[in-house]
Structures are given as structure tokens and as C-alpha cells.
Amino acid sequence: MNNLDRRGFLGLAGLVAAGAALTACAGTGGGSSTGASGTSAASGDASTINFWSNHPGKSMDLEKELISRFQAQYPDLTVNLIDGGKNYEEVSQKFNAALSGGDLPDVVVLSDVWWFNYAITGAITPLDQLFTEVGVDTGDYVDSLLADYRYEDRHFALPYARSTPLFYYNKQVWEQAGLPDRGPESWQEFDEWGPRIQQVVGDGKFAHGWGNAKDYLGWTFEGPIWTFGGGYSNEWALKFSDEKTIAAGQFLKDMIHTKKYAAVSSDIANDFAAGLIGSTIASTGDLSGISSNATFEFGTAFLPAPDGVPGCPTGGAGLAIPANISDERKRNALKFVDFITNGDNTAYFSQNTGYMPVRKSAVETADMKKYLDENPNARTAVDQLAVTRSQDYARVFVPGGDQIIGTGLERIALQNADVATTFADVQQQLQRVIDRQITPNL
């Protein structure tokens, strides 16, 4: 984006209706899946592992390297890297279609908002028995990341491209605004800083940029809502009518429409790297790209939160195995998942993407210690993991919940919509999905 205005910082393409949200495992049509070459993506051969990925963090070359390492150790197994789409949603749509009769993968990337829907309908395999059969040391996975895939005492995926949101800030802008070289300690403190930062960045730019619904606004604003004492839900009980949740939504509205120091961006990582916004909340997975593209020195910080109040969710994607493939294919698939997420390989993936290492052993290696010492922005993500909180059910367990929430927040941010009215509509949409698609399966 080169030119920005307050309403046009993002062109809102349209609101997403709950009825249009993808229903996991409903079956949206058949047809075989194809790779980049257009060939059949799955043969059913147990010695061939078909890995469907959207290459999170632009990691296609990294994934090819991990596959090469795996095949060197397991020469009797072949891994096909299949392009599942440009983002998590497209991978899920492709997987959903394959469940209706297409060729199933052996391993599929599923984000935090998709795996549960496939788990409760039996489309992906509970892995705990396979852990024993294959010899997977689950104790080496970071506890909180492994627990994110647990439902009814069973695990349905293993962590892979895992992230938290980070607070990114332009150090030059901070210095010119007379601010300390750190992130804000609370959103109330940032509200005091915002107008000062806006004076520095000037017209056509903004002190802070929020991602749009497609850029996971429902995720990046989850932590701020918690720090106000609100939330999206308490397990299955929705909280959008809670006065503290509404207060957080009003804060978002005021910083954009009243105090005019923030806006919504359709590409927060690139806009931040281009100097169009002074700060933003983006994924740890954006760290590598921002580091490569930014021409100024920037810092990363924990998301603002008062002492003792979690202000940051986990996020990202894990690796799941379909239920309707042979047991031998499942075992080989899990060997592959275990290998590419082992200590050395998750350290390699983390250093080259910005995603968090998912194994405890990874951060104890000399190579990873050296990397974190030399890259304090990457260390922020690893350190922040200790104060994260699992996400609210409304976003990650309700089919389409992320887009329903994100679209509601977009209406507030872009259209100056009334917060209480918008949140009431969001709650109504979510409750309808829960009643129709979740409750009958619980």
C-alpha cells in the first residue's frame, strides 16, 4: 500500500455471514487432490508420505530441506510436498473436499482454528496410541503447545509452525517521540503514547496498525480484550455482552475514530516494514520477513498486559493425520511429523521463519542459544511463551468463529459501528453455529 486514508487503509470487500463459513468435514465436493505438477497427490502407498502444506512463513524451501533430511534417515520412505494453498483456510478447504471422496494426505497442516472441527467429527486421528507405537517422546514438546491439541484426554495434532503475536515497534519513531525503548506495559499506557507517535509519523501514516479479519484481527485483538477483563467466551459460554469485552471494543473504536492514531491494514507486516505504521501486532512468523524488508531498526516486545494478567494467546498451526488411511500409513506419517519437529529441525525451522521452536531440547542446543543471543527480537517470542494463555473456544473451536469475530471487529474499526450492537450480532452468529454444529457432537 502506498497511499493510506483513514477509511481506505483497507478496502472492505464484504462482511462474512455465519452461514457462509466453512463447515469442517461437511463435504464440499469430491475430486482428487493435485500437487503443483497437477499429478495425483495421494497414492495410498504406505511407503509414500503425502504432506499437504501452505508453507507457513514462506517455508517451502525449508520444508524441502526437512524432507531431504528425513529421507536420508528413512531411505525406504518417500515424501511428496503438496501445495495445499496459500494460507491455512485454503488447506482446510482442500482437506474438507478430500473427505468427500478425494485422495487424502498422510500429513496435513491445520491451524489453531481448524483442527478441533475435524477432531470432533472423527476426520483426524487421535495420536496417543501411535505415540507409543512409533516411540514419540511427547515430553520434549513444549507443554503448552502440545496441550493446545488436546481434547477429551487425547491429542489430535503435534505443534509445527507455532507462534504468538508480538508487539513490533519502530525504534526511530519511538526515539523521536521521546518514548522509552520498550513496548507499552498496558494498553492504557499505549493510549497515552499514541497521539505522540502520530505527531512523529505524520499525515498519511499511523502510529499503530491492526490487521484485518483475513490478517487474523480476531487473533491479535484477543489478548487486548483479556487485559480489559473481557473475553470472547468462557469455554462455550459467549462473553460478547460482557461490559468489559464491550469496553475493549470501544477502546479499538476510539483509537481509530476519535483519537485517530490507528487504522486497519490489509498487510500489517509489509506496511510496518515499509514505515507506514509505527507499531503493530503481528505473528512471530512475520519476524523473518520484517527483518529482511525493514530499512530501520525495530524492536519486539511482549503484548501489553498488567502484571499477572495474560495478554497474549498462542497461535499458528500443527500437523495432523487423517483418520481414514491405513494404520501403516499413519505410523509412517507420525515418524515424519516426529522427525521434522525434533529438536534440531524445529530449531532450524525457527531460525529461518521466526516461528517458535516447539521442542524443549531445541532451546538448549548451542546453535539455538547463539541464535537467540544474536537475535533478541526472536528471543522475545520464546520468553513470552511463558505468559501466554490458550485461546477462547469461540475463536478456535467454533467453525468460522475467527472470521465472524474478525469481521465484527472490522465493522467497528472501519465503519465506526456501535460496539454493543456489533458484538450482540457476533454473539448471535456464534451461538447459532454452536447450537447447530457443536452441541450435537459434544
Distance separating alpha carbons of residues 111 and 92, to the nearest angstrom? 8
Which residues does the chain have with pLDDT short of 50? 1-43
| pLDDT number for residue 47 | 94
Write out pLDDT tens, residues 411-436.
999 999 999 999 999 999 999 999 99
Distance separating alpha carbons of residues 368 and 73, to the nearest angstrom? 23
CA distances from 411 to 212, 361, 423 (A): 10, 44, 10
Task: Report the candidate in 164, 158, 150, 123 with the shortest Cα–Cα distance to residue 339.
Answer: 158
Distance separating alpha carbons of residues 425 and 417, to the nearest angstrom? 12
Backbone angles phi, psi at 412, to 5 degrees: -70, -45
Tell me how crowded residue 187 is: count the other CB atoms within 10 A of its CB. Answer: 22
Burial of 352 (0-12, 13-18, 19+ CB in 10 A): middle
The residue written with cell numbers 482454528 in the block is 113
| pLDDT number for residue 45 | 87
| pLDDT number for residue 386 | 87
| pLDDT number for residue 23 | 34
Is-above-0.85 flag for pTM? Answer: no
Backbone angles phi, psi at 143, to 5 degrees: -55, -50
Task: Report the candidate in 352, 403, 364, 363 with the shortest Cα–Cα distance to residue 385.
Answer: 363
| pLDDT number for residue 57 | 86
H helices of 268-418, in order, are 268-273, 287-293, 327-340, 343-353, 366-374, 376-384, 393-396, 401-415
| pLDDT number for residue 42 | 38
Output Rg (C-alpha) for the chain, integer angstroms: 21
| pLDDT number for residue 25 | 34
